[in-house]
Amino acid sequence: MNAKKTVLHLLKGTDVRINGDRPWDIQVHNEALYARIIRDGSLGFGEAYMDGWWDCTRIDLLMEKLVQAGIEKKVMNWKTALAVVKAKVINTQTKIRSKKVAEEHYDLGNDFYADMLDKYMQYTCGYWKHAKTLDAAQEKKLDLVCKKLQLKKGEKVLELGCGWGGFAYYAAKYYGCHVTAVNISEEQVAYARQRCKGLPVKIVKSDYRNIQGKFDKVASIGMCEHVGYKNYRVLMQKAFDCLNQDGLFLLHTIAGNRSVTNTDRWIEKYIFPNSMLPSIKQLGEAMEGLFVMEDWHNFGADYDKTLMAWYANFKKNWPKHQAQYGDRFYRMWTFYLLCCAGMFRARKIQLWQIVLSKGIAGGYESIR
């Protein structure tokens, strides 16, 4: 069977047609696409889009349909298997290797991200319950985290992985907390320090594993995806060691429905090097014997809305950044945002907020 026939066979049952007239159909511009997909799987598919070999009006709908049909199970090849073996042998999230994602992704440029994100520069899922705009959804997410942590004025809060300082700013300004926030991204640290100037916030450029001290509350919002399965217990132990006996730890993370040891090859190469999504089993084993699980909240469907809002902002503001980043970057970023939206919509991946304690007398009341 030649490459084209093989790809057409793979597409059976997906409701996706080659050169069809529906928004989720694939328009092929280069017949070499089929061999590239067979040879390189999802990496070849994504790179071919970046190279202009194919187009699709609604990549989010295309990805939703492909994921729902289980296409990734059919396209497994030896290179994917090799990546799995590599992840088993090597800890790709050591203190040295963990800097790669900061340098290649988060340090792209604060102006670029400011034009895509909300006023708090939140690069994590918004909470769209009773929210109609991205700004409102992200503010509700920040307030939800503060309420779940039961923040009180004067409390000492540790944030492991702080992005551009949005949570540190919000917790200090609106809840009167003293926040110590940790990050390894040069660009993000500089931005966060400027944003939080005048507030009781300390932004520390450091790996989370280096932090010492005791805090009333600990939060990790969108960092666990970069920790790696070999370090999930390390993260939990660090939060446990830094948390006061009657404190709370909130973990906000994208997550998968099954346990893995690596990530998609295209995402690994172009978006989030050395990343992977934790599973219930992996996080459960990591927290076992340390924490009491007080609350586990999934609002992954809200990430679809968040990503589509980011894409709308990215597309609207692209003319300001086109000269700096170029057309291939535009196609790469489009593919990234819309594929992720489709995967959340198909419920392939989730967004969890988990509240943990060392055992609160009288129990914990969950907040929604």
**Residues assigned a catalytic role:** 340
HEC sequence for the chain: CCHHHHHHHHCCCCCCCECCCCCCCEEECCCCHHHHHHHHHHHHHHHHHHCCCEECCCHHHHHHHHHHCCHHHHCCCHHHHHHHHHHHHCCCCCCCCCHHHHHHHHCCCHHHHHCCCCCCCCCCCCCCCCCCCHHHHHHHHHHHHHHHCCCCCCCEEEEECCCCCHHHHHHHHHHCCEEEEEECCHHHHHHHHHHCCCCCEEEEECCHHHCCCCEEEEEEECCHHHCCHHHHHHHHHHHHHHEEEEEEEEEEEEEECCCCCCCCHHHHHHCCCCCCCCCHHHHHHHHCCCCEEEEEEECCHHHHHHHHHHHHHHHHHHHHCHHHHCHHHHHHHHHHHHHHHHHHHCCCEEEEEEEEECCCCCCCCCCC
Chain centroid to Cα 26, Å, comes to 27
Dist. CA 255–CA 349, nearest whole Å: 6
Rounded alpha-carbon distances, angstroms, from residue 274 to 94, 165, 317, 327, 336: 10, 23, 29, 25, 16
What does the block give as tokens for 25? 């159909």
Q: List phi, psi (to 5°) of 94.
A: -70, 170
